[in-house]
């Protein structure tokens, strides 16, 4: 078992740190944010992720998981340092890597002997190689530092399950020693026969972008087909099911609707276009996937307007505000894009989400928050179902309809049946059916 430092206690860092501790490694999670570290020491998790609080508490209690604001002492006691600091969009589609390079520059001059630095953050292709050069510039003579890339494929809302039972683990590592250490760290997964792909730095970095962009493209593809379904009277749910039965295609990520959001697909698809540009290659398919996704909230709005006419002066309710169920993350959430578009058209917007309300209150104060779906509906001119939370799957529809000023429901996630909704007296729209 290794001693591990996890630098950065954001989503990826904290989940990975807690899971590596659960594998039996001794992990210290480091962050510059003292308040966050204090929270974690009290066993409080700064964001919502099922099962994570239990995992953190259990491993902290067993003495395998610690928290600290001190980078250098953590570095000295660790064999392996995972770097999971933020790499936000600089505003021009390029990732801001300053936090990542700062960590490396801060620790490299203090390293004695051997250390392995592993990038967990999603970084542009070529970053690992640049980090290696930077380390060599800053390192003491006689020390040996390796860089490895270990991209994550965790989904928010099921991150622990994804970590413990992944489809694959990708390791970009180029020395014998770094490969051996990484394989040992992931030994419990190796024993459960998880495929472990060991490759060079660039391939590992690109696997991450290619995987996310492919999934985003799959969603945009089925979304485009859903528009064809509408024009020709076909049903996209049946179509996607039949497509998915072909094992070469697969059933996952073929749900048509209002499009993808979150902190990953939008950022990583944009980044892949830039990665192509930098070497003079035009990533046409990914660009088209982005374009199709960007028009989805607008299409949802048009559906609402077809049912309601002008929304100016009206009140529209949004059911679900997080970018997907089981998370409180509202980054790039289609619901938030819709709320902004509705306000631009002169409508007032109210909403409810089982978990994301606090985040919405802080970031989008114009959205009036309600205590449940029925308060959202009361007196509204229509509701739009934006996130397929389980509790929206069996709403008391007659009650919802009674409360609405006009019985309009736009089902942006395709969870209800048109016939049933119309039999209940709703004016109903969905995608591709």
The catalytic site residues sit at 264
| Min CB(332)–ligand UGA separation in Å | 8
Of residues 317-346, those binding ligand UGA (CB under 6 A)? 323-324
Give 68 or 194: the residue with its C-beta nearer to ligand UGA: 194
Give 155 or 187: the residue with its C-beta nearer to ligand UGA: 155
d(CA 96, CA 118): 18
Size of the site for ligand UGA (CB under 6 A): 20
Query: Comparing C-alpha atoms, which of 170, 185, 151 is closest to residue 79?
Result: 185
Contact between 264 and ligand UGA per CB under 6 A: yes
Give 323 or 389: the residue with its C-beta nearer to ligand UGA: 323
Contact between 266 and ligand UGA per CB under 6 A: no
Give 323 or 404: the residue with its C-beta nearer to ligand UGA: 323
Contact between 152 and ligand UGA per CB under 6 A: yes
Contact between 155 and ligand UGA per CB under 6 A: yes
Give 259 or 407: the residue with its C-beta nearer to ligand UGA: 259
| Min CB(113)–ligand UGA separation in Å | 33
Stretches 126-134, 228-236, 261-269, 297-305: which one binds ligand UGA (CB under 6 A)?
A: 261-269
The contact mask relative to ligand UGA for 213-252 (x = CB under 6 A, - = no) is --x---x---------------------------------
- Pick one of 60, 154, 316, 356: the residue that binds ligand UGA (CB under 6 A): 154
Contact between 270 and ligand UGA per CB under 6 A: no
| Min CB(314)–ligand UGA separation in Å | 26
Q: In whole angstroms, what separates CA 426 from the centre of its chain? A: 33
Stretches 59-67, 149-157, 198-206, 309-317: which one binds ligand UGA (CB under 6 A)?
A: 149-157
Given the rule CB under 6 A, which residues bind ligand UGA? 152-156, 212, 215, 219, 253-255, 257, 259-262, 264-265, 323-324
């Amino acid at each position: 078992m290794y001693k591990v430092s996890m630098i950065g206690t954001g989503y990826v860092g904290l989940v990975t740190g807690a899971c590596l501790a659960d594998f039996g490694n001794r992990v210290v999670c480091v962050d510059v944010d003292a308040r966050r570290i204090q929270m974690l020491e009290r066993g409080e998790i700064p964001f919502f992720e099922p099962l994570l609080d239990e995992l953190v508490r259990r491993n902290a209690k067993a003495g395998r998981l610690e928290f600290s604001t001190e980078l250098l002492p953590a570095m000295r006691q660790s064999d392996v340092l995972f770097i999971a600091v933020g790499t936000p969009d600089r505003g021009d589609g390029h990732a801001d890597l300053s936090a990542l390079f700062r960590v490396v520059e801060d620790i490299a001059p203090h390293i004695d002997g051997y250390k392995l630095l592993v990038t967990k953050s999603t970084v542009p292709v070529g970053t690992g190689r640049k980090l290696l050069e930077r380390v060599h510039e800053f390192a003491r003579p006689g020390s040996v530092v390796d860089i490895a890339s270990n991209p994550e494929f965790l989904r928010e809302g099921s991150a622990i399950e994804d970590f413990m039972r992944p489809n694959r683990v990708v390791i970009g590592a180029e020395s014998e020693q770094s490969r051996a250490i990484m394989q040992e760290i992931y030994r419990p997964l190796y024993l459960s026969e998880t495929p472990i792909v060991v490759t060079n730095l660039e391939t590992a970095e690109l696997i991450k972008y290619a995987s996310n962009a492919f999934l985003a493209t799959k969603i945009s593809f089925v979304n485009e087909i859903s528009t064809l379904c509408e024009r020709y009277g076909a049903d996209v749910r049946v179509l996607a099911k039949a497509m998915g039965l072909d094992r070469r295609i697969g059933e996952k990520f073929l749900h048509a609707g209002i499009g993808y959001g979150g902190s990953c697909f939008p950022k990583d698809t944009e980044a892949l276009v830039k990665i192509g540009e930098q070497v003079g290659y035009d990533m046409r398919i990914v660009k088209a996937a982005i374009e199709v996704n960007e028009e989805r909230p607008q299409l949802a709005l048009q559906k609402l307007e077809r049912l309601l006419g002008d929304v100016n002066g009206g009140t529209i309710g949004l059911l679900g505000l997080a970018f997907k169920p089981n998370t409180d993350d509202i980054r790039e959430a289609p619901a938030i894009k819709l709320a902004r578009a509705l306000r631009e058209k002169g409508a007032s917007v109210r909403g409810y989400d089982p978990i994301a309300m606090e985040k919405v209150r802080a970031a989008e104060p114009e959205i009036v928050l309600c205590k449940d779906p029925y308060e959202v509906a009361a007196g509204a001119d229509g509701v739009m179902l934006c996130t397929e939370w389980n509790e929206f799957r069996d709403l008391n529809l007659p009650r919802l309809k009674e409360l609405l000023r006009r019985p309009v429901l736009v089902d942006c996630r395709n969870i209800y049946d048109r016939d049933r909704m119309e039999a209940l007296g709703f004016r109903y729209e969905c995608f591709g059916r």
